[in-house]
Structure 1
Amino acid sequence: MTFEPLRILLVEDDFFIAETLAREIRAEGDTVVGPFADIHEAIQYVGLVQAAILDVLVQEETSFSIADSLIHHEIPFIFLTGSDPRVIPARFADRHIYDKPSPATPLLYDLHQQHRAIVSQGDGNMEAVVIEMIRRARDLMPDEASADRIVEGALLRAIAETKDKRMEGDIRANMLSLLYDEYRQRGRLCLH
Structure 2
Amino acid sequence: MSASSTLSRQPAPLAGRRILVVEDEYFLADDIGKTLRALGADVAGPVGHIEDAVKILHDGGILDAAVLDVNIRAEMIFPIARELRTRQVPFVFTTGYDKISISSEFQDVLLLEKPIDLAAMARKLAALIADPRI
Moved over 6 A (4+): none
SS of aligned partner of 1:10: strand
CA RMSD, 1 decimal: 1.6
Percent identity for Structure 1 against Structure 2: 33
What TM-score do the two structures reach when normalised by structure 2?
0.81
Give 5+ residue unaligned stretches, structure 1.
119-192
Structure (1 or 2) with the greater strand fraction: 2
What TM-score do the two structures reach when normalised by structure 1?
0.58
Cα distance, 1:4 vs structure 2: 4.8
Cα distance, 1:45 vs structure 2: 1.8
Give 5+ residue unaligned stretches, structure 2.
1-10
1:94 maps to 108
Give 1:63's aligned amino acid. Answer: I
Structure (1 or 2) with the greater helix fraction: 1
Cα distance, 1:2 vs structure 2: 6.2
CA distance in 1, matches of 2:46, 2:128: 21
* Cα distance change of structure 1 residues 90 and 18 upon mapping to structure 2, 3 Å threshold: same
Alignment check: 8 A CA contact 1:8 1:50 kept? yes
CA distance in 1, matches of 2:42, 2:108: 25
Name which structure has the greater RCO, CA cutoff 8 Å, separation 6+.
Answer: 2
CA distance in 1, matches of 2:129, 2:92: 12
Alignment check: 8 A CA contact 1:21 1:103 kept? no
1:3 maps to 13
